[in-house]
């Protein structure tokens, strides 16, 4: 299932992909650049979610909670206190990790698992959505806005600048997340996670402190996801609880790793490319065809998802890897 190590031509492929992504902004127009940013964003969040589900087997359907907490923490510090995003990041990550720890503690201590755990995560995200709707300090349902001006200079310290700066930042995050996941998967903890994922009872019988390692999985995943939230806040400059915490956001985040291949390192990246590419291609196609009806694009999108789920239930990457001769059984 999972690759303990990456074969040599896999590394070559990875290097080629990275090189292509580094030079890509010089060959694409502004529109494609925003699409690439979106792809990297979903690759990154997918990687973070994958730690919890793909590695440790804990299905979270409420990851928008951590994006939202990260975004709101950093944005609030910026708007109300003038702290920059990197300081905000230092606050946002612990906030999300603490929230993940609370959910994890409650669920794992009280034996809430499987479907019940998944729905508990939805419940917390929904709780936050409605809660933030009523917090006047963060703008309530009216939204929280970051000051926007025309920036000619890229100010990396304050994350104010042109899309290309956000592109390279997200590329760096995605690359770092890939390396971290690669390291984690082969670490002692990674093997414990996989043992828990395959058979929790057996893992416990072997002496693995399953509670502890499941907690680590949730907290690392939550913290990483909050980083994406900070990016989200400074990239889009506006936050609405109805959008940030909504269940459809949570689903959006987990489509890429599931379609790409759960528990694999390349799955979230491949899934993000396929799904975002598909979605944008459809927008273009419908635009060219002159079909401008709300819902048309999503119907096609849903049908494509359905086809992938029916044809490749384990995701695209495991199938693709076999084709490339990268898979080790």
Partner 1 sequence: MPLDIYLNVGVSGLLTGLVYGLMALGLSVIFGVVRVVNFAHGEMMTIAMYLAIVAFQAFKLDPLVMMVPIAGVLFALGYVMQAGLINPFVDRPEHSQFMLLVAIAIIMVNVLLLVFGPDARSVQTPYAFDSFAFGRIIVDATKVYAGLAAIVVAAALFAFFRFSDIGKAIRACADNYTGALVVGLNVKHLYALTFGIGAACVGAAGAMLVLLIDVTPPLGPQYTLLAFVIVITGGLGSMPGALVGGVLIGLTEALAGLLFTPSAKSMFAFAILVLVLLFRPQGILGKRAS
Residues in contact with partner 1, counted by CB under 8 A, come to a total of: 45
Q: Which of 118, 159, 224, 272 binds partner 1 (CB under 8 A)?
A: 118
295 binds partner 1 (CB under 8 A): yes
Q: Report residue 189 as tokens.
A: 């903890």
Nearer to partner 1 among residue 115 and residue 206 (C-beta): 115
Whole-angstrom distance, CA of residue 270 vs CA of residue 256: 8
Nearer to partner 1 among residue 36 and residue 270 (C-beta): 270
Specify the stretch interacting with partner 1 by CB under 8 A; choose among 83-91, 93-101, 118-126, 210-218: 118-126
290 binds partner 1 (CB under 8 A): no
What are all long-range contacts of 129-137, with beta carbons under 8 Å and residues at least 24 apart? 129/68, 129/241, 129/242, 129/244, 129/245, 129/246, 130/241, 131/241, 132/68, 132/72, 132/241, 132/244, 132/245, 133/241, 133/242, 137/76, 137/80
Specify the stretch interacting with partner 1 by CB under 8 A; choose among 157-165, 179-187, 213-221, 295-303: 295-303
**3-class DSSP assignment, residue 237:** coil
Whole-angstrom distance, CA of residue 83 vs CA of residue 126: 28
Specify the stretch interacting with partner 1 by CB under 8 A; choose among 117-125, 181-189, 206-214, 216-224: 117-125
Q: CB 90 → partner 1: shortest distance, Å?
A: 29
What are the backbone dihedrals phi and psi of residue 55, each rounded to the nearest 5 degrees, phi first?
A: -90, -50
Site for partner 1 in 129-148 (CB under 8 A): 130-131, 133-134, 141
Contacts of 287 (CB under 8 A, 6+ apart): none
Q: CB 149 → partner 1: shortest distance, Å?
A: 33
Nearer to partner 1 among residue 11 and residue 303 (C-beta): 303
Site mask for partner 1 (CB under 8 A), range 255-284, x = bound: x--xx--x----------------------
287 binds partner 1 (CB under 8 A): no
Specify the stretch interacting with partner 1 by CB under 8 A; choose among 30-38, 86-94, 110-118, 269-277: 110-118
Whole-angstrom distance, CA of residue 306 vs CA of residue 33: 28
Nearer to partner 1 among residue 160 and residue 197 (C-beta): 197
Contacts of 235 (CB under 8 A, 6+ apart): 37, 159, 166
**Rg of the chain's alpha carbons, rounded to an integer?**
20
Q: Report residue 162 as tokens.
A: 């042109």
Binding site for partner 1 (CB under 8 A): 53, 59, 61, 106-107, 110-112, 114-116, 118-120, 122-124, 126-127, 130-131, 133-134, 141, 247-248, 251, 255, 258-259, 262, 293-296, 298-299, 301-303, 305-306, 309-310, 313
């Amino acid at each position: 299932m999972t690759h303990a190590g990456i074969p040599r031509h896999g590394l070559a492929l990875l290097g080629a992909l990275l090189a292509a992504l580094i030079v890509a902004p010089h060959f694409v127009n502004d529109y494609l650049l925003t699409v690439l940013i979106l792809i990297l964003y979903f690759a990154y969040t997918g990687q973070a979610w994958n730690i919890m589900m793909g590695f440790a087997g804990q299905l979270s359907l409420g990851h928008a909670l951590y994006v939202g907490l990260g975004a709101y923490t950093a944005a609030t510090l910026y708007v109300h206190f003038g702290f920059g995003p990197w300081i905000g990041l230092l606050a946002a990550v612990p906030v999300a990790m603490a929230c993940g720890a609370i959910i994890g503690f409650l669920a794992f201590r009280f034996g809430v698992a499987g479907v019940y755990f998944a729905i508990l995560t939805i419940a917390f995200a929904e709780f936050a959505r409605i809660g933030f709707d009523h917090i006047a300090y963060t703008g309530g349902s009216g939204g929280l806005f970051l000051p926007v001006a025309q920036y000619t200079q890229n100010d990396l310290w304050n994350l104010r600048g042109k899309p290309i700066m956000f592109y390279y930042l997200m590329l760096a995050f995605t690359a770092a997340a890939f390396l971290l996941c690669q390291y984690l998967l082969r670490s002692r903890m990674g093997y414990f996670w996989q043992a828990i994922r395959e058979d929790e009872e057996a893992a416990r019988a072997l002496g693995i402190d399953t509670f502890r390692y499941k907690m680590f999985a949730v907290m690392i995943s939550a913290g990483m996801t909050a980083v994406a939230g900070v990016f989200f806040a400074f990239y889009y400059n506006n936050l609405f609880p109805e959008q940030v915490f909504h269940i459809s956001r949570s689903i959006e985040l987990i489509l890429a790793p599931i379609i790409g291949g759960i528990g694999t390192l390349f799955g979230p990246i491949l899934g993000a490319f396929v799904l975002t590419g598909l979605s944008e291609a459809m927008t273009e196609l419908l635009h060219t065809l002159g079909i401008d009806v709300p819902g048309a694009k999503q119907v096609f999108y849903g049908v494509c998802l359905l086809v992938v789920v029916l044809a490749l239930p384990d995701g695209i990457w495991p199938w693709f890897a076999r084709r490339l001769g990268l898979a080790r059984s």
